[in-house]
Amino acid sequence: MTISGETSLAGSHAAEELASEIQQAAEQIRRERQSKRAKQQAQQAQHDAVEAALTRSDTRRSAGSGSGKDDVVLVGNLIGEGHVNYVLMYNMLTGIRVGVSRCQAKMKRALSPEDFSAAHKMSFDIIGNELTPSAKYDFKFKDYAPWVFRSLREEVFHLDPADYLLSLTAKYILSELGSPGKSGSFFYFSRDYRFIIKTIRHAEHKFLLSILEKYYQHVQSNPHTLISRFYGLHRVKLPRGRKIHFVIMNNLFPPHRDIHETYDLKGSTVGREYPEDRARENPRAVLKDLNWINRGKMLELGPEKRALLTEQLRRDAEFLKSISVMDYSLLVGIHNMRRGNRDNVRKNTLKVFSPDIPRSHRKSVSTKGAIQTDPAIIRRAMRNSETKRLGEGKNPIKLPDEHTGDDNRAHFVFYQDEGGLRATDDNNDPQDTIYYLGIIDILTPWNAVKKLEGIWKGLSADRHKISPVPPTDYSKRFFDFMKAIMRGGEGGAKFKPE
């Protein structure tokens, strides 16, 4: 055999040995993968069994309490874990708690132009990480203009930061209006009924950001404004869900007084009537302009309060005209002091959710083989939490029977009489009615859609009395109507369609 032949034979043996080693390594990897897959399947089967047992337990508990009075709410829907909006509600409050706390923890500073367009993103999951605590669900949260809204809350609206967070997130809210509003928005109440979380469309979110600097300047120079008070603008998104934008606002109606009549007044009278026969069956319906006129209602205010209200309405209407919006309205809630709180609406409408939040389990840089946190433990703690009616539990929330003065309303002229504006006679002496007033729905700009709507409605009705009219006309009509329906005014009859 030649040297070249020996070399060839040695190379062949080496190649065979390499191929054998590769095959053995591949088989070893295959066995490890199969073992790992079998272990994961066993763990998943055990986890599914635990989840199924928990579900059966929840079902039995729900069935056992389903016939009780505690599951009945007079106004609004109880949001349990099976409710379509439960996950949304939970993620909203978790994001608010972390986002607002993070901003509040920093030293106060002057606002810059960039603050009005800033946005901070956060990601949450069931384990948690160095930046965010553990959460029940995976979701993303976006906090818009946090420094601007912090300044609005503290410096303009005189909200205590700790009080704000406690009201919203100390106990998770589980009360919403029975159906979405006309725009498709959902409304949620804070545990003490002071704040509203309202979902808004993407276009409304963009519009609010575009006018935020002007809004800030207006409320800063007009601390007694009647325009809705925005305390925060946020966005939440589930992994495979759509983006939900929402704002946090003041609840115009107080927690300590029943509202006996509610009106939504625009100064428009075409199609602006709630059927009176339905109103008799549903005394808490929101009535409209024609109901107000036909019932002969007036804002009973003496000269002093009438002058103050008229001037503030003029300033607010001018501002709304300057940002080219329309379709806003004056919401009027009426409390009859002689009737008082006999209906006891407040204690029967709100429910709260108080989850036993587990200790924050954060992801750590661990070595191979370290024990990982089991998500089922966290889920179990959440599942075992139960809803309680306001006033129940070890530390019941007391709804005051009288105005305690511990909120921010006392700072403002139109909210200082038991949280509202008390009626007065011609001598400015107090009467037995309290009005709760506020300008709402200010995020509808005059755009092409509204122009077409105005043209269409104008074909069959008086175009001066329909709702969609240009901002200048809308502002003037709104202000004229409000002046007319105050004591001493000519009344709203001239605004009725012929």
Please spell the DSSP secondary structure of 224-271, one letter per residue: T--B--EEEEEEEE-TTS-EEEEEEEE-SS-TTS---EEEEE-S--TT
Closest CA to 292 of 489, 106, 84, 446: 489
Mean pLDDT of 58-82: 43
In the chain, where the domains are located? 75-251, 258-355+409-497
Mean pLDDT of 332-340: 91
Quote the percentage of the chain above a pLDDT of 90. Answer: 41
CATH 3.30.465.10 is right for the domain spanning 258-355+409-497 = no
Mean pLDDT of 37-56: 57
- Higher-pLDDT residue of 32, 61: 32
Q: What is the number of helices (H) and of strands (E) in the chain?
A: 12, 16
Q: What confidence tens digit (pLDDT) does each residue in 138-185 have?
A: 889 999 999 999 999 999 999 999 889 888 887 765 566 554 555 567
Question: CB–CB of 433/423 below 8 Å?
Answer: yes
Q: Tell me, what's the pLDDT at 386?
A: 41
Q: Tell me, what's the pLDDT at 191?
A: 74
**Could you write out the three-class secondary structure of 109-126?**
CCCCHHHHCCEEEEEECC
Q: Tell me, what's the pLDDT at 329?
A: 96
Q: What confidence tens digit (pLDDT) does each residue in 391-417 have?
A: 344 444 333 333 344 456 667 889 888
485: part of which helix (H) or strand (E)?
Answer: none
pLDDT for residue 4 is more than 60: no
Closest CA to 173 of 92, 234, 98, 232: 92
SS3 372: coil
Residues 6 or more apart in contact with residue 167 via CB below 8 angstroms: 190, 191, 192, 194, 195
Mean pLDDT of 341-368: 48
Label residue 364 by pLDDT band (50, 70, 90). very low
Q: What is the DSSP string of 412-470?
A: SGGGTBTTBEEEE-TT--EEEEEEEEEEE----B--HHHHHHHHHHHTTS-TTTSS---
172 CB neighbour count, 10 Å cutoff: 22
Closest CA to 139 of 128, 126, 124: 124
Rank 61-65, 134-138, 269-273 by mean pLDDT and report only the highest.
269-273
Identify the bridge partners of residue 263 per DSSP, sorted by sequence position.
287, 332
154, burial (CB in 10 Å: exposed 0-12, middle 13-18, buried 19+): middle
Mean pLDDT of 476-482: 96
pLDDT for residue 135 is more than 50: yes
- Higher-pLDDT residue of 343, 415: 415
Angstrom distance (rounded) from CA 272 to CA 267:
9
Q: Tell me, what's the pLDDT at 134?
A: 78
SS3 207: helix
Q: Tell me, what's the pLDDT at 60?
A: 41
SS3 354: coil
Q: What confidence tens digit (pLDDT) does each residue in 207-228 have?
A: 999 999 999 999 999 999 999 9
Closest CA to 347 of 387, 419, 386, 397: 397
In this structure, which topology does domain 75-251 adopt according to CATH? Phosphatidylinositol Phosphate Kinase II Beta (3.30.800)
pLDDT for residue 69 is more than 50: no
Q: Tell me, what's the pLDDT at 29?
A: 66
Residues 6 or more apart in contact with residue 376 via CB below 8 angstroms: 47, 50, 51
- Could you tell me if residue 218 is left (phi over 0), alpha (psi between -120 and 50 degrees) or otherwise beta? alpha
Q: What confidence tens digit (pLDDT) does each residue in 441-458 have?
A: 999 999 888 888 888 887
Angstrom distance (rounded) from CA 254 to CA 208:
25
Q: Tell me, what's the pLDDT at 174?
A: 53
Q: Tell me, what's the pLDDT at 255?
A: 77
Q: Tell me, what's the pLDDT at 370?
A: 37
Quote the percentage of the chain above a pLDDT of 70. Answer: 68
Q: Tell me, what's the pLDDT at 246?
A: 95
pLDDT for residue 12 is more than 60: no
Label residue 359 by pLDDT band (50, 70, 90). very low
Q: Tell me, what's the pLDDT at 299?
A: 96
Residues 6 or more apart in contact with residue 408 via CB below 8 angstroms: 157, 158, 159, 160
pLDDT for residue 366 is more than 50: no
Angstrom distance (rounded) from CA 268 to CA 457:
12
Average the pLDDT over each of 307-311, 342-346, 390-394 and give the range with the smallest value. 390-394
* Tokens 């928990």 sit on residue: 54
Cα-Cα-Cα-Cα torsion 13, 16, 18, 20, nearest 10 degrees, comes to -140
Chain-centre distance for alpha carbon 392: 24
**Model's pTM, two decimal places?**
0.73
